């Protein structure tokens, strides 16, 4: 804990020297950043001593909660044994071997080899190169187009940002990296027509993939890339009809399927990977974040046997790699994290307790005057804030009301993130009834306070 003087100084120095990601720097300078000094289990503390329930698990990361000693000890022991060695020149080391084997065991059956990086963006860049390289090796170099979706978030490097759908991100990196197309999101609340059933909407959203494949020419399409549940785009949960239809289309045109499981991997929706929940057969899974519960950077790409076979059929290098591919300390921490998740049955517990508990909390607010819809799957949840519940009409100036609500959440000692006017949550997998009760109380108060701020804008 720091005193008031130190807090002020930290905020000043932060404003002077630290350029924050994804931030409006003018308002950040004016208001100063909140200084987070400590974490423990489901809570973090700020420098003024406020305890905050972390409804975002850090940033969709801390599945086992904050500050577990076992992970610190795993890092410490590995640093004393072998803090770093590369995996480039026919060298390997025990932690990377053990983690690769573990991930192959947890992933769908056909995915058995892992390429490592340090961030989700890197893993998607790796996947993009691998996909295009694969088609060259198969003698179909024209297959370069990767289709993804409008609210996709795949990262901030240039290739991953180009594969992402968010127009505001594209604006910062014109010209975009070539070869990406974006189709509609499978989120009924945003895109469904009045009277259209969820099932019909799911099929329509999936068939947008087929339309796009036909529009650009199937012979030019390399892959479809998608988060099984869209996270940063606003926890957009596809209807049950969506993924089977996408799988049918992927199979029909023989394109690759890239499942970006950077958020959904490692238990978030009740299976190790969300691909297993939806019964889809990706050729590539990208992962990051919760593989170490965010304690240390680590990411990777788990690769289908067929792609590996194509690499093996050509005795040439895949010219791609990062200094920290398979970093021994990160791998040791990941192994301990996965061991804890298994020992504490955190993944089945999402189906047995935490997932239903989150759904129950959110359902309490579906009749609130500000709330258009609540939805969740496993431990991913969302609350849509709207001006008119009946027509799904949103507030003017998207994002404004979301920020008001987010600030009320913070003052109530609870973190939820605002994606424009959609409030999203991604709690750690360790929550007990006590944390769900706290979240419920905080959400109730924050929604009421937000409502009183915008009451004049709500449809009667």
Q: Would you say 374 or 380 has its CB closer to ligand PXG?
A: 380
Exposure of 423 by Cβ count < 10 A (0-12 exposed, 13-18 middle, 19+ buried)? Answer: buried
Between CA 315 and CA 62 the distance in angstroms is 40
Q: Which is nearer to ligand PXG, 177 or 353 (CB)?
A: 177
Q: Judged by CB under 6 A, which of 46, 212, 227, 412 binds ligand PXG?
A: 227
Task: Assess 294 for contact with ligand PXG (CB under 6 A).
Answer: no
Stretch that binds ligand PXG, among 115-123, 193-201, 235-243, 440-448 (CB under 6 A): 115-123
Q: Please give the DSSP secondary-structure letter assigned to residue 231.
A: S
Residues numbered 376-435 forming contacts with ligand PXG, rule: CB under 6 A: 417
All residues at 6 or more sequence positions from 171 whose CB lies less than 8 Å from its CB, including other chains = none
DSSP string over 16-30: HH---TT--HHHHHH
CB nearer to ligand PXG: give 405 or 451: 405
As measured in angstroms, the least distance from the Cβ of 322 to ligand PXG is 12
Residue 387 vs 415, nearer CB to ligand PXG: 415
Contact 304, 283 (CB under 8 A): yes
> Does residue 153 bind ligand PXG (CB under 6 A)?
yes
Residue 104: Cβ-neighbour burial (10 angstroms; 0-12, 13-18, 19+)? middle
For residue 61, the minimal CB distance to ligand PXG (Å) is 9
Taking CB under 6 A as the rule, does residue 59 contact ligand PXG? Answer: yes
CA–CA separation, 34 vs 29, rounded Å? 11
Instruction: Show contacts with ligand PXG in window 259-288 (CB under 6 A).
Output: 260, 262-263, 288
State which H helix or E strand residue 138 sits in. none
Please state the closest distance from residue 315 (CB atom) to ligand PXG, in A: 32
CB closer to ligand PXG, 95 vs 120: 120
From 10-18, 132-140, 256-264, 379-387, span contacting ligand PXG (CB under 6 A): 256-264
Residue sitting closest to ligand PXG (CB): 120
Please give the structure tokens belonging to residue 251: 């199979």
Are the beta carbons of 293 and 42 closer than 8 angstroms? Answer: no
Q: Which of 47, 63, 87, 119 binds ligand PXG (CB under 6 A)?
A: 119
Helix (H) or strand (E) holding 67: none
243 binds ligand PXG (CB under 6 A): no
3-state secondary structure of 124: helix
Burial class (CB in 10 A: 0-12, 13-18, 19+), 256: buried
Regarding 121 and contact with ligand PXG (CB under 6 A), the answer is yes
Q: Distance between CA atoms of 299 and 327, rounded to whole angstroms?
A: 10
158 touches ligand PXG by CB under 6 A = no
Q: How much helix, strand and coil, in percent to the nearest 5, is found in the chain?
A: 45, 15, 40
Establish if 210 lies at the interface with ligand PXG (CB under 6 A).
no
Q: Is 185 in the site for ligand PXG (CB under 6 A)?
A: no
Compute CA 13 distance to the chain's CA centroid, rounded to the nearest angstrom: 30
Within positions 317 to 376, which residues make up the interface with ligand PXG, using CB under 6 A? none
Q: Which of 57, 183, 213, 232 binds ligand PXG (CB under 6 A)?
A: 232
- Does 231 bind ligand PXG (CB under 6 A)? Our answer is yes
Q: Residue 380: which residues within 8 A CB-CB, separation 6 or more? A: 229, 231, 235, 237, 263, 264, 268, 269, 424, 425, 426
Task: Pick the closest to residue 393 from 401, 402, 385 (CA basis).
Answer: 385
CB of 10 to ligand PXG, least distance (A): 22
Q: How many residues are recorded in the chain? A: 460
Of 236 and 417, which CB lies nearer to ligand PXG in the complex structure?
417
**Contacting residues for 352 by C-beta, under 8 A, at least 6 apart:** none
Q: Shortest approach of ligand PXG to residue 214 CB, angstroms?
A: 27
Q: Which of 93, 133, 154, 389 binds ligand PXG (CB under 6 A)?
A: 154
As measured in angstroms, the least distance from the Cβ of 149 to ligand PXG is 11
Tell me how many residues contact ligand PXG (CB under 6 A). 16
The yes or no reply on residue 47 touching ligand PXG (CB under 6 A) is no
Residue 443 · residue 376 · CB < 8 Å: no
Contacting residues toward ligand PXG, per CB under 6 A: 59, 119-121, 124, 153-155, 227, 231-232, 260, 262-263, 288, 417
């Amino acid at each position: 804990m720091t005193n008031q003087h130190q807090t002020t100084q930290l905020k000043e120095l932060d404003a002077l020297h630290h350029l924050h990601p994804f931030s409006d720097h003018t308002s950040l300078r004016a208001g100063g950043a909140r200084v987070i000094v400590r974490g423990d289990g489901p809570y973090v503390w700020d420098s003024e001593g406020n305890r905050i329930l972390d409804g975002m698990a850090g940033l969709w990361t801390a599945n086992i909660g904050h500050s577990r000693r076992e992970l610190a000890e795993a890092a410490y022991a590995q640093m004393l044994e072998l803090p770093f060695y590369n995996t480039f020149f026919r060298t390997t080391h025990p932690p990377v071997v053990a983690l690769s084997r573990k991930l192959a065991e947890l992933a769908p059956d056909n995915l058995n080899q892992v390429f490592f990086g340090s961030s989700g963006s890197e893993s998607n860049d790796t996947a993009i190169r691998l996909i295009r390289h694969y088609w060259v090796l198969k003698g179909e170099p024209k297959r370069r187009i990767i289709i993804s979706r409008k609210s996709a978030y795949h990262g901030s490097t240039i290739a991953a940002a180009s594969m992402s759908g968010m127009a505001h991100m594209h604006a910062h990196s014109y010209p975009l990296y070539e070869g990406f197309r974006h189709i509609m999101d499978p989120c009924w609340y945003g895109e469904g027509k009045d009277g259209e059933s969820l099932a019909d909407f799911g099929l329509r959203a999936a068939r947008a993939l087929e339309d796009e494949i036909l529009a650009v020419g199937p012979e030019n399409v390399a892959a479809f890339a998608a988060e099984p549940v869209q996270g940063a785009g606003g926890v957009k949960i596809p209807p049950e009809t969506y993924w089977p239809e996408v799988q049918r289309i992927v199979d029909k045109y023989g394109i690759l399927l890239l499942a970006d499981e950077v958020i959904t991997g490692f238990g978030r929706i009740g299976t190790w990977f969300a691909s297993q929940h939806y019964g889809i057969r990706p050729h590539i899974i990208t992962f990051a974040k919760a593989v170490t519960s965010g304690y240390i950077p680590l990411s990777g790409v788990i690769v289908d046997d067929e792609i590996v076979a194509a690499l093996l059929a050509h005795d040439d290098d895949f010219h791609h790699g990062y200094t920290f591919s398979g970093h021994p300390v990160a791998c040791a921490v990941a192994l301990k994290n996965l061991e804890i998740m298994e020992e504490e049955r955190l993944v089945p517990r999402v189906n047995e307790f935490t997932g239903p508990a989150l759904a129950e909390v959110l359902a309490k607010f579906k009749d609130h005057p500000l709330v258009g819809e609540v939805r969740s799957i496993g431990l991913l949840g969302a609350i849509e804030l709207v001006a008119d519940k009946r027509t799904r009409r949103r507030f003017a100036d998207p994002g404004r009301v979301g920020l008001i609500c987010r600030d009320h959440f913070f003052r109530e000692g609870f973190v939820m993130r605002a994606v424009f006017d959609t409030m999203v949550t991604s709690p750690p997998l360790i929550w007990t009834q006590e944390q769900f009760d706290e979240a419920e109380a905080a959400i109730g108060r924050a929604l009421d306070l937000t409502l009183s701020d915008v009451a004049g804008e709500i449809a009667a």
